[in-house]
Every structure is written in structure tokens, then in C-alpha cells.
Copies of this chain bind each other. A is one copy, B any other.
Amino acid sequence: MPRSHGSEIDTLIQLLAKLPGLGPRSARRSTLQLLKKKDSVMKPLADALNMVADKIVICDTCGNIDTHNPCHVCEDTRRDRSLVCVVEDVADLWALDRSETFKGLYHVLGGTLSALDGVGPDELNISPLIDRVETGDVQEVILALNATVDGQTTSHYLAERLASSGVKVTALAHGVPVGGELDYLDDGTLAAALRARGSVS
């Protein structure tokens, strides 16, 4: 291979190419843009990465990734603490929160049950959810898992586990396309699905 630039630049291209949405070509273009905007983008980006990397923490309460523990959601006193929305991933928490329809709290499972991948209840953030529901002020648990087979299996499992707790258990209404993933939906669809949520237990 010819070398038109130093190995540090190659390293940067390769690291950027690992980001979702950036292939090798976009990573090269991004690198060039960074090289040309050293002071306005490249250094601020390096600083932001270092600052966030130093502060990243997983919220002990809900599993959100943030720079504070408890996270910004859990420590927001304007939120309705009687509502807990259960999601698979932090990306789903962010997506739902952007829809600005839901003003309660969240609980991030960290995945779904999967026989194929050998993921059982102990591999997910489920026990802390049960504890949270049994000891806190929670009155309704909204299951907002992806409309995939594993997501729905996990939903049914959680509904059974939560049945004895006496809290209301609901799930997102149809409106989430079958097979679709929450994080790819527009905010309007997410909002409609939340408003029309129905009881599953």
C-alpha cells in the first residue's frame, strides 16, 4: 500500500470507521474534515470524548448511561415517579425521551431474553426492576420492548414476574411496526404508541 499520510492518521480513520453509519470512505472524509477544522471540531471533539469518558457512569437506579449517578432522568424531580418504562437499551430510553410524551422514569434491561444467544433472566437487569417495583412508589410499569420475537417473549416474561406485585403492567400500543426497532422510529409514532398503550396483565 502506498502511504499518502502518517500512521496516526490511518489509526484515526480506522477508529472512526467503527462508528455506526461511517464506513471506510466516510471515515476518510470525516478525517479530512477534522484535519481541516482542527481548532473548531477536532480538538473540541477530542476534549468532549475525554471529558465524557472520564465521567461515564451507569445509573444504579435505572441503567441509563450518563455523566451522573443517579442519572439526569432519575434525579429530575418534575418526573412522575409512579411510572416506570422498561426498555431494552439506552438508545430506546433516549428515543422515548426525545418524543417528549413520557414524563416518568425508565428501567434499562440491557437486552432481551434469547434462547438462541443463551440470555436468561439473570443476564438482564430484571431483579433490580422487581426490587424497584416492590419497594418504591411505582404504580405502573410500561413495557416498551422492541416488537421482535425476543422483545415480546421478554415482555410476557416480565408481565408474569410483575403480576404478583400488584402494579399495573401495560405495553406500548400497536403502532410500533412488527419487527421494527424503537430507536429507528420517528417521534410521532413513538408518541402515538405511548398514548395508546394497553394493559397486558
Contacts and interface: CB of A to CB of B under 8 A. Distances in A.
A20 B26 contact: yes
Interface string A90-132: 1101100110100100000000000000000000000000000
Interface string A39-69: 0011111101111110110000000111110
Contacts of A3: 72-73, 76
Contact of A35 (B16, B35, B52, B71): B52
A42 B48 contact: no
B20 A41 contact: no
Interface string A2-27: 11111011011001101111100010
Given A26-B20, A32-B91, A33-B19, A9 B45 contact: no
Interface residues of A, number: 59
A33 B20 contact: yes
A36 interface: yes
B100 A2 contact: yes
A4 to B, nearest CB: 4
A134 interface: no
Contact of A48 (B4, B12, B36, B52): B12
A34 B19 contact: yes
A9 B53 contact: no
Contacts of A35: 52, 56, 65, 90
A197 interface: no
A48 to B, nearest CB: 4
A32 B66 contact: no
Contact of A46 (B49, B68, B97): B49
A156 interface: no
B41 A18 contact: yes
Given A2-B100, A34-B49, 9 more contacts: A2-B97, A8-B48, A8-B55, A11-B44, A19-B26, A20-B29, A20-B30, A22-B26, A29-B183
